[in-house]
Structure 1
Amino acid sequence: MMKRRRFLSAAAGAITAAALTLTATSAMAAEKLRFAVTDIEGLEALQTEFGPFRDKLGALTGYDVEFFPVSSRTAAVEALSSEHVDFVLTGPAEYVVFKARTDAKVVIGWQRPDYFAQIVVMADGPIKSVEDLRGKKVSFGSVGSTSQHLGPAQALADMGLVFNKDYQPQIISRNVAVEAMIRGDIQAVGMNFSHLGKIRKAFPDHAFTVVARGRDLPNDVLIAGKHVSDAMLDTMRTVFVEHGKELLAEVVKGDDNQKYLGGHFLSTIEDKDYNYVRSMYSTIGVDKFNAFVGN
C-alpha cells in the first residue's frame, strides 16, 4: 500500500510538472507584438477602431497583439526608435519622417480608395481655373497632412503655381476655411475627396467645384522597427497577403476606418513609392525629412 501511494504521488508530481511545462511553452509561443496608430490618440479610441482587427490578427499570427497608444506622431517615432513599439500604422507624409529617423521597414500597404488631393472653389465664383488663383488666397488644413496640406500644394505645383509665390497659402481648419471661402475672404480650399462630400453635406445651400486634382496619393503603410525580427516580419506580411479580406473586414468595423472600405493590402510597396511625398515636402520648402512639419 505504501509503495502504491508513493507511485501515485510521483505520478501526480510528474503530471503537474508536465502541465507547468506545457503552460510555459504556450506562454513562450504567444510572442508579444506591440501595435500603434499615429492618427488615433488614447487606448479607448484604439480599442474602438481596431479592437476587432487586433483580435483577428492575433488569431492568425499566434502573436499576443498589444495596443501601444501614442499621443502624437513624434511620440510614435520616439517609441519605435526606442523599441517600445514594434509596428506602426501611419500615413504617407508621416512615413518619410519615420524612415529618415528610424530606418523603419515597410511591411504592407493599406490602400485608401479615392485618396487624392483637390483644390475646391465656389462653383458660382470668379475662379474657373488654376490660373485664376494667381495672387489669391488658398487655404490648407492640418499642417503636414498628406491630403489637406502637402497634396493640394503639390497639385497646384504640378499645374504651374509656386507655393507662397504665385498665391498666398493660409492654414485654416477645413469648415472654417469653407465659411471664409463662402464669404469671399479666401478663394480656394485644399482637401481630399471624402472631405468634399462632407462639405457638401455641411453646406447644402452652396455649390462647390474642383479646379485641380492631384494624382492618387501613396498608400498608408504598416511599418516595423528595425529591431523586429525577419521571422516576425515575414509572418505579418504573409498573414496580410493570405488573409487580407478577413483582416480588412475587421478593420472597417471602426467608424474612422471607413476610409479603407473597398481597399486592399498591398505587398509590393517600396520606399521609393514615397518619393512623391518627398517632392511635396520640397514644394512647401522642406528639404529635410527628419521632423514633422508644424511640430
Structure 2
Amino acid sequence: MLRTIMTAAVLAAATPLAAEPIKFAVTDIEGLEALQQEFAAFEASLEEITGLDVELFPVSSRTAAVEAINQGAVDLVLTGPAEYVVIKELTDAEIVVAWQRPNYYAQIVTLSEGDIGSVADLKGKVVTFGSVGSTSQHLGPAQALADFGLTYGTDYQPQILSRNVAIEALIRGDVQAVGMNEGHLRRIREAFPEQSFTVIARGRDLPNDILVARKDMDGAAKQKIADAFVNDGAKLMAAVIQGEDNKKYEGGFFLTKVKDANYDYVRDMYRTIGVDTSAFVGD
C-alpha cells in the first residue's frame, strides 16, 4: 500500500499540470461570436504552429481590455495605435508584433467643386471627424491638419459625425471637410458616384495595429508566439485575412522590430486634440 501511494506521488510530481490556455483578445470586436468569425482560423493556425492552447477571449471595450490585462485574465491583446498608447500607460504591456495595414493613413476630404481648395481655406470652417478617438478617423486627420499649421478647435470647428452623415452634410454645404482613411474614401466614392471628392491633406502613414502581451505573461509561451510570427508569418496572415473585417490586413506583413517610440506620433495626436494618454478619448 505504501509503495502504491509513493508511486502515485512520484507520477503526480513527474506529470505537469495542464497549461492554462493563452487568451487572445481584440479591442474593437465585441462578443465571442464576432470574434470567432474574424479570428477562428487564426486561432487554429497559431495553435498548430506553436503547440499552445489558444483561446479567443472577448472584451466589451478597450477599457475592459485594460482591466483584463491588469487582472491577469488575458494574455494577448490586438489593438489599434490610438488604443495602444493608453494601454501601454495603464498596464505596461509589452509589444509582441505589429500588424501592418497597407494604405493606412488619414486624410482630409472636400468636394472637388466646393469652395475649399487648400488647407488654409478651412480656417473658420467646420471639419468633421468619425468615431471619437479613432486613429484614422479622428486623431490622424486632426494631426494631418496640425502638420499643415491648423490648430484643433481654434483655426476650425471640429465636429464628430458618423461618416455617411458627414458626407451628406458635406454635399449640402453644412460642413466643409471630412476626416477619414483611404479605405473609407474608396467606399464613399462607390456610395456617391455622382459626386467628386478631393483630398486636400494627407497624413503620414499611421503606425500599425499592434499585438501586446501582459508584462507577466509566461515568457516561454510569449517567445513561441513571437517566433511564430517571424518563422510562419505568411501562414498566419493567410489565416487572419479569412475574416471579413480582417481584409484590411491583406497585403500586409507582421513586423517584429517595433519599439514603443514608434508610437510617439500617436502621442502627438493626443496632444493635438488637447488630451493626454491616461484615458481613452471619449470614455
Q: Same fold (TM over 0.5)?
A: yes
Alignment-derived partner of residue 113 in structure 2: 124
The runs of 4+ residues in structure 1 deviating greater than 3 Å are none
- Three-state SS of the structure 2 residue aligned to 1:212 is strand
Q: CA RMSD in A?
A: 1.4
Do structure 1's residue 194 and structure 2's residue 179 form an aligned pair?
Answer: no
Structure-2 residue corresponding to 1:111: 100
Rounded Cα–Cα distance in structure 2 between residues aligned with 1:137 and 1:289: 26
User: Which letter maps to 2:191?
Assistant: A
Cα deviation for residue 232 of structure 1 reads 1.7
DSSP-derived class of the 1:41 partner: coil
Amino acid in structure 2 at the alignment position of 1:289: T
Instruction: Indicate the SS of the match to 1:66.
Output: strand
Q: How does 1:1-295 map to 2 (within 5 A)?
A: 28=18, 31-286=20-275, 288-295=276-283
Matched residue of 1:250: which SS? helix
Spell out, residue by residue over 1:174-195, the C-alpha distance to the aligned partner (whole angstroms, 9 max, x if none). 0000000000000000000000
Q: Distance in 2 between matches of 1:265 and 1:92?
A: 15
AA at the equivalent of 1:100: E
Cα deviation 1:229-278 (Å, max 9, x = unaligned):
22222111111000000000000001100100000000001100000000
The question of whether the paired residues in 2 share the 8 Å contact of 1:252 and 1:261 is answered with yes
Residues 49-93 of structure 1, C-alpha deviations (whole Å, 9 max, x = no match): 000000000111111101110111101111111110000000000
Task: Give, in whole Å, the separation in 2 of the partners of 1:53 and 1:233.
Answer: 16
Q: TM-score, normalised by structure 1?
A: 0.90
**2:52·2:221 contact (CA, 8 Å) conserved in 1?**
no
SS class of match (1:34): strand
- Indicate conservation of the 8 Å contact 2:141/2:179, yes or no: yes
* Secondary structure of 1:48 counterpart: helix
Q: Distance in 2 between matches of 1:232 and 1:267?
A: 16
Letter paired with 1:175: N
> SS where residue 89 of structure 1 aligns?
strand
The structure whose Rg is larger is 1
CA contact (8 A) 2:142 2:272 kept: yes
Alpha-carbon distance, 1:155 to partner: 0.1
- In the aligned structure 1, how far is the partner of 2:192 from the partner of 2:71? 46
Which SS does the other structure have where 2:86 is aligned?
Answer: helix
Indicate conservation of the 8 Å contact 2:107/2:179, yes or no: yes
CA contact (8 A) 1:31 1:63 kept: no
TM-score of the two chains, using structure 2 as the length reference: 0.94
Q: Tell me the SS of whatever aligns to 1:249.
A: helix
Q: Is the 8 A contact 1:117 1:148 kept in 2?
A: yes
Distance 1:270 1:232 in 2: 20
Count the aligned residue pairs. 273
Give the SS at the match of 1:108: strand
Gap regions ≥5 residues in structure 1: 1-12
Identity of paired residues, percent?
62
Cα distance in 1, alignment partners of residues 38 and 214 from structure 2: 23
- Following the alignment from structure 2 to structure 1, what is the Cα–Cα distance between the partners of residues 219 and 86? 22
**Separation of aligned partners in 2, 1:153 and 1:260:** 24
Look up the SS of the partner of 2:38 in the other structure.
helix
Deviations 1:128-176 (A, max 9, x none): 1000101000000000000000000000000000000000000000000
8 A contact 1:79–1:85 mirrored in 2: yes
